[in-house]
Structure 1
């Protein structure tokens, strides 16, 4: 596509998207499904990314949401409304059960009880009752903040205004939906009145609930299934199934298809039953949700950052379609990974127009690795007829190739060994499937991606500085390095004026951005560490490191001291790999211990201690420590990080909400714990303000030793570290 064709396509997309916005937000009669709308918008953004000169601030790519949302107040959920992880086959379900068993340390013999319920395809809603009276209804929104739709929710017959016998505080959560029959009748009425009809039941339900005029909502046949709860002043029951029975007794409609199941085999049987009855249910579902039935187990399992560990959505099979592979593009990510993307002849898959799909890595293209997704025979070549599949909202993937339809002139694809953005060598480390650009911050793609990551919600969370703004400021030369964000205001001495006069900006929006930037200077150390974009350093590791070191200076000093040991560790592992290969060829016994000893021979005790300090942090380990040392020892990377930290004053880790006798102490668990799993022990200790380490050192305050404790117990005795058994530990923290 050349620039002229791109401009014409952007104009066509602008007309389509503007009409869709008007139909959905103003006329409440969407002409496109959400999937179709999103596909058009993604195509618009992709063309703008390829032809940035054609990007217009007022174009579809610059719009987020729509005006009607401004008419609703915002509600912060007392308990976050999370999404669910997905399962797509029997293996995923078995692994879900196995993960829970491992976490809870359950024996293999007894079956674990779950509930299985249809996954309703509607709009999530949270209802808050106080003293038995409905006081607020809110959409899920982003999970933390939703829209206040109380007046509209009161018009739904399935939602009680008052509850008898309910806890003083009760948040009931469920799904607003529209039945097939009601949807058809509504569309008939719309047609008779000369009004536009709705695209599907889900869009009709969502649009109806989000009407600014509650009288319109009242005229729509909305229904509500209750299936969960948020904040409660007292437990509803001891089990998920019991809690659903309690909600039904209070007057809520719960799914009659929900069943209690024993083990993964029973879950799969119920899944097959619901799938077979899907067409007869009378409303849209897109899978089956499994939840651990025992609520005490749910509490122990807890949550990941965005999903509960105790629940999963088993989605119905992915939909597939065949099309032509028209090209392969290489995208460069935040960590320098070269990711191949298939450019496809557009095809509709499960109601979504797909023109791009992931190709995983160069081995997947070559046909030597299935990427963990499917098994193919042969490589992929431009011009091939390929099968595309989607599962729920998962990124489309290329699953198969029709070798019989291969063009005669198709040639194997040669994966490039240099970065398509900066030209730096792209290397593939031994044992890895991904090739990475070595340019670091020299590479514009990595630079922009890291800036986007730094300002994201989970990192510095700078409101008003989104992906589009980062790209624009980078193109203007205003923000080229992380620290430039915090000097934006004084740019050329007239930063505020320059920004306020930029298209799409004004004095108010510029002022709001500068205020958000100032607020970001004191984000927690955990957020700062995560925001640096260091490979393998996620949100959880950021929190673990922040709890352990408390200040940036303490962290940086330790990393600097550990760097020689990191080099030795890498050398030792590479030498050991070579020694194992040699031994395999010759049949000789591998002298791994001697090889590793030689690698560490010149490492100072201080470097060893710093390395042990970092790798000993529970959840950190050698791989992440290597990545951290690499990042902070690279001159250009370190200069950029030091400049950023010069602009920040990271707040210390948040104090534990339930601080107790172990607050501020460093605890190590070793041996077999009989009354809790290691993960539970760590979570409880950290909740009480303790730091959990994986190794014993002079900084260790308490060693909790179960049966089988070995070298750690010996080292603790040598260092005079207080040692106790599991019962004493539970007595100390008040859990005996």
Structure 2
């Protein structure tokens, strides 16, 4: 992420766009990891996204989204399982990446509790198992329910599957009447190897790593499949209890062991930060020989009374933190470089490697990031790896960042074949042949084919029918995948949805005869599609999934142009990124040059424009309704709210101001016309005073707009 604009240099509009981008990336990563058991970014990359999101929210608190990743744990439970509402929320853990982070953790605990540095404070330190979180509920000693973490509040009911795991007791004696035991389901390296060998012999899909294998095995709809998989379980925590297990974390773990649960023998009690780090190093040295995957060490305050005082943040406990391991390394031969096209059109180079074991996992592919990385430079043109480029045939160093996605870290020039040629990055999409362009400031080259590119089509179509876009009842992500691959009823572009009925008189019967469908459900889908032919301008623009153009921006643009036809004429005339139409587009508050270029470029691509035009012919696009701001005393003015508002919420104040034609900003600048300051107004009020900006209290503001 070194090519990204530093948080302190972001403008408010850029920060808003970046938060939207991060929300999308993190949500997708959560779904891939927690629901699909198929992550495509490393833990380290995921952690970096979360840290950047948190840093931007700290810099621009007024921009925090209602769906902020800071307030989320995991992902929504998958369809197919009944849902379980956790009596005690299953939290995630904050992360430490170096010794100083651990020291900061200790200092923050002491500061919160008011403890001096010299005051004794015990922590437990235990391996962080890389598996799937599971909660087991026992009532009167009998296992009555097992559930996955899900989104922390609601998980999946996997009781029948959990009963097949030998490490999980069906009954426990001398336990509290209500006992929720929490821990991690995992698979040993040896069992993982045997499972993959068996899968290959049967011609079935093999698993990428033990974590995916364990998660996929536990989350089977058929418990017989789970029973055939060699799953294990470590207990390390608890949820709802009818009575305490013990006074300390370590004693509670010992109690769980006496009740018959498998607990990790490497768990230790540490009295100082130095002891915590020493135990961390000891576990790290044993990592390769443990026989199961771990990705760090978890520290927890040992005293349970202190844990209760420390409590929780929105998604993480204050009393625990995960100290992640650094990536592991290995050397191997680079046999080829392939280009993969992602759902956003990004061209990603992938290293095809001679298989090598890295940290107990066989690696044959690794990411090469982008064209600059291959060439030996960073996004700003500076040198990396001492300027050494990467070529097919090279001897390369591979590391597993966060133990998920391997990466190529270095190259040994002394072993380079004499006939190795510099790699030439493609300028066109290998999937659809469209131009592959690289925007200024972007590290990635992207296909411009949009919805006509096969690599992007399915995800674009899923976005097209999503809740904030066309939201067609009965046509969700699962149905899109079905139609996309259907030889008789193919949906390869948005317009295909609206021409399904007219292509063949027998299409309704064809659909009705599909598995999972019937005459009524097929007819209902036809009706639902027809209902969405009338669509607001803003929703249509958002549904197209144009990069950088989110929901808010789509509505801003719609409100500016009013009619789709006016917008089309303007964006077509701006094809050369110049002229009055281009200036008008850039003049819309909230539309920057990056967004404007993405918008104009999409409509300038012949194939994509043809697809959009064909779609619009099937629709009745509703003009945007502009608010009547005649007589408004604040129309066209820029307003900033600061301090505590006592007669309305900040959201209500913002909505009211915007309905009167005002622009609401989160920061004070020379462009600010009015500052509305409530009690507790600080630096913004001072800056407004220094700039001579009109400042009103809440009553004066209400008096100003009251008759508008």
Does TM-score exceed 0.5, indicating one fold?
yes
1:362: Cα distance to partner? 1.0
- Please say if residues 335 and 534 of structure 1, whose CA atoms lie closer than 8 Å, have aligned partners that are also in contact: no
Which of 98, 114, 123 in structure 2 is aligned with 1:90?
98
Provide Cα deviations, 1:595-635, integer angstroms capped at 9, x if missing partner.
xxxx99x978x986x51xx48xxxxxx58865786589769
Residue of structure 2 in register with 1:74 after alignment: 82
Equivalent-residue separation in structure 1 for 2:102 and 2:544 (angstroms):
33
Evaluate the alpha carbon distance shift between residue 718 and residue 418 of structure 1 in structure 2; reply closer, same or farther with a 3 A threshold. same
Equivalent-residue separation in structure 2 for 1:140 and 1:490 (angstroms):
45
1:364: Cα distance to partner? 1.0
Q: TM-score, normalised on structure 2?
A: 0.55
Residue of structure 2 in register with 1:192 after alignment: none
Which of 663, 666, 687 in structure 2 is aligned with 1:694?
666
Which of 485, 494, 508 in structure 2 is aligned with 1:496?
508
1:385: Cα distance to partner? 2.6
Residue of structure 1 in register with 2:423 after alignment: 413
Equivalent-residue separation in structure 2 for 1:485 and 1:686 (angstroms):
41
Residue of structure 1 in register with 2:373 after alignment: 364
Residue of structure 2 in register with 1:535 after alignment: 547
Residue of structure 2 in register with 1:26 after alignment: none
Residue of structure 2 in register with 1:708 after alignment: 683
What secondary structure does 1:382 align onto? coil
Residue of structure 1 in register with 2:184 after alignment: 175
The runs of 5 or more residues in structure 2 that have no matched partner are 1-36, 40-77, 196-206, 623-637, 656-663, 701-708
1:431: Cα distance to partner? 2.8
Which of 368, 389, 392 in structure 2 is aligned with 1:379?
389
Evaluate the alpha carbon distance shift between residue 554 and residue 359 of structure 1 in structure 2; reply closer, same or farther with a 3 A threshold. closer
What secondary structure does 1:126 align onto? strand
- Greater fraction of residues in helix: 1
1:466: Cα distance to partner? 6.8
1:340: Cα distance to partner? 1.8
Which of 476, 492, 496 in structure 2 is aligned with 1:480?
492
Evaluate the alpha carbon distance shift between residue 516 and residue 243 of structure 1 in structure 2; reply closer, same or farther with a 3 A threshold. farther
- Please say if residues 152 and 211 of structure 1, whose CA atoms lie closer than 8 Å, have aligned partners that are also in contact: no
- Please say if residues 703 and 713 of structure 1, whose CA atoms lie closer than 8 Å, have aligned partners that are also in contact: no
Whether 2:374 is the aligned partner of 1:394: answer no
Which of 396, 412, 431 in structure 1 is aligned with 2:441?
431
Which of 279, 284, 288 in structure 1 is aligned with 2:297?
288
Residue of structure 2 in register with 1:465 after alignment: 478
Provide Cα deviations, 1:237-260, integer angstroms capped at 9, x if missing partner.
9xx996776687688666575568
1:363: Cα distance to partner? 1.0
Equivalent-residue separation in structure 2 for 1:95 and 1:432 (angstroms):
34
Equivalent-residue separation in structure 1 for 2:241 and 2:230 (angstroms):
33
Evaluate the alpha carbon distance shift between residue 669 and residue 559 of structure 1 in structure 2; reply closer, same or farther with a 3 A threshold. farther
Residue of structure 2 in register with 1:138 after alignment: 147
Equivalent-residue separation in structure 1 for 2:315 and 2:541 (angstroms):
24
Whether 2:340 is the aligned partner of 1:343: answer no
Provide Cα deviations, 1:269-295, integer angstroms capped at 9, x if missing partner.
442133245589797644323579867
Residue of structure 1 in register with 2:32 after alignment: none
Equivalent-residue separation in structure 1 for 2:639 and 2:144 (angstroms):
45
RMSD over aligned Cα, in angstroms?
6.8
The runs of 5 or more residues in structure 1 that have no matched partner are 1-36, 40-69, 188-198, 576-598, 616-621, 650-665, 674-680, 725-736
- Please say if residues 462 and 477 of structure 2, whose CA atoms lie closer than 8 Å, have aligned partners that are also in contact: no
Residue of structure 2 in register with 1:556 after alignment: 558
- Please say if residues 347 and 445 of structure 2, whose CA atoms lie closer than 8 Å, have aligned partners that are also in contact: yes
- Please say if residues 358 and 395 of structure 1, whose CA atoms lie closer than 8 Å, have aligned partners that are also in contact: yes
Provide Cα deviations, 1:184-214, integer angstroms capped at 9, x if missing partner.
xxx9xxxxxxxxxxx9998799969989789
- Please say if residues 342 and 358 of structure 1, whose CA atoms lie closer than 8 Å, have aligned partners that are also in contact: yes
What secondary structure does 1:496 align onto? helix
Whether 2:332 is the aligned partner of 1:322: answer yes
What secondary structure does 1:508 align onto? coil
Equivalent-residue separation in structure 1 for 2:189 and 2:432 (angstroms):
54
For residues 86-235 of structure 1, what are the structure 2 equivalents within 5 Å? 90=98, 94=101, 116-121=125-130, 123-128=132-137, 135-140=144-149, 145-149=155-159, 152-153=162-163, 156-157=168-169, 160=172, 163-164=175-176, 171-176=180-185, 224-227=234-237, 229=239
Evaluate the alpha carbon distance shift between residue 285 and residue 449 of structure 1 in structure 2; reply closer, same or farther with a 3 A threshold. closer
1:315: Cα distance to partner? 3.7
Residue of structure 1 in register with 2:70 after alignment: none
Evaluate the alpha carbon distance shift between residue 382 and residue 210 of structure 1 in structure 2; reply closer, same or farther with a 3 A threshold. closer
Residue of structure 2 in register with 1:5 after alignment: none
Task: Report which stretch shifted further, 338-347 or 704-713.
Answer: 704-713
Evaluate the alpha carbon distance shift between residue 153 and residue 294 of structure 1 in structure 2; reply closer, same or farther with a 3 A threshold. same
Evaluate the alpha carbon distance shift between residue 456 and residue 325 of structure 1 in structure 2; reply closer, same or farther with a 3 A threshold. farther
Residue of structure 2 in register with 1:331 after alignment: 340
Q: TM-score, normalised on structure 1?
A: 0.53
- Please say if residues 336 and 436 of structure 1, whose CA atoms lie closer than 8 Å, have aligned partners that are also in contact: yes
1:387: Cα distance to partner? 2.8
- Please say if residues 323 and 388 of structure 1, whose CA atoms lie closer than 8 Å, have aligned partners that are also in contact: no
Equivalent-residue separation in structure 2 for 1:686 and 1:160 (angstroms):
52
What secondary structure does 1:137 align onto? strand
Provide Cα deviations, 1:312-365, integer angstroms capped at 9, x if missing partner.
461464252412322x23233343332222233444544544443221111111
Equivalent-residue separation in structure 1 for 2:266 and 2:652 (angstroms):
41
Provide Cα deviations, 1:69-106, integer angstroms capped at 9, x if missing partner.
x9x9633444776777877x538x749969x98xx999
Task: Report which stretch shifted further, 380-389 or 369-378.
Answer: 369-378
Whether 2:682 is the aligned partner of 1:722: answer no
What secondary structure does 1:363 align onto? helix
Evaluate the alpha carbon distance shift between residue 689 and residue 281 of structure 1 in structure 2; reply closer, same or farther with a 3 A threshold. farther
Residue of structure 1 in register with 2:7 after alignment: none
1:479: Cα distance to partner? 2.0
Evaluate the alpha carbon distance shift between residue 106 and residue 233 of structure 1 in structure 2; reply closer, same or farther with a 3 A threshold. closer
For residues 548-697 of structure 1, what are the structure 2 equivalents within 5 Å? 556-558=558-560, 611=589, 614=590, 639=612, 643=616, 670=642, 694-695=666-667
- Please say if residues 152 and 218 of structure 1, whose CA atoms lie closer than 8 Å, have aligned partners that are also in contact: no
Evaluate the alpha carbon distance shift between residue 301 and residue 132 of structure 1 in structure 2; reply closer, same or farther with a 3 A threshold. same
1:494: Cα distance to partner? 3.1
What secondary structure does 2:417 align onto? coil
Equivalent-residue separation in structure 1 for 2:537 and 2:146 (angstroms):
35
Provide Cα deviations, 1:512-569, integer angstroms capped at 9, x if missing partner.
78878988999999999987544357xxx86xx4xxx9xx8677315879999x99xx
What secondary structure does 2:414 align onto? helix
Equivalent-residue separation in structure 1 for 2:288 and 2:417 (angstroms):
41
Whether 2:315 is the aligned partner of 1:302: answer yes
Residue of structure 2 in register with 1:55 after alignment: none
Equivalent-residue separation in structure 2 for 1:417 and 1:205 (angstroms):
39
Evaluate the alpha carbon distance shift between residue 394 and residue 498 of structure 1 in structure 2; reply closer, same or farther with a 3 A threshold. same
Equivalent-residue separation in structure 1 for 2:451 and 2:419 (angstroms):
39
**Count of residue pairs brought into register by the alignment:** 547
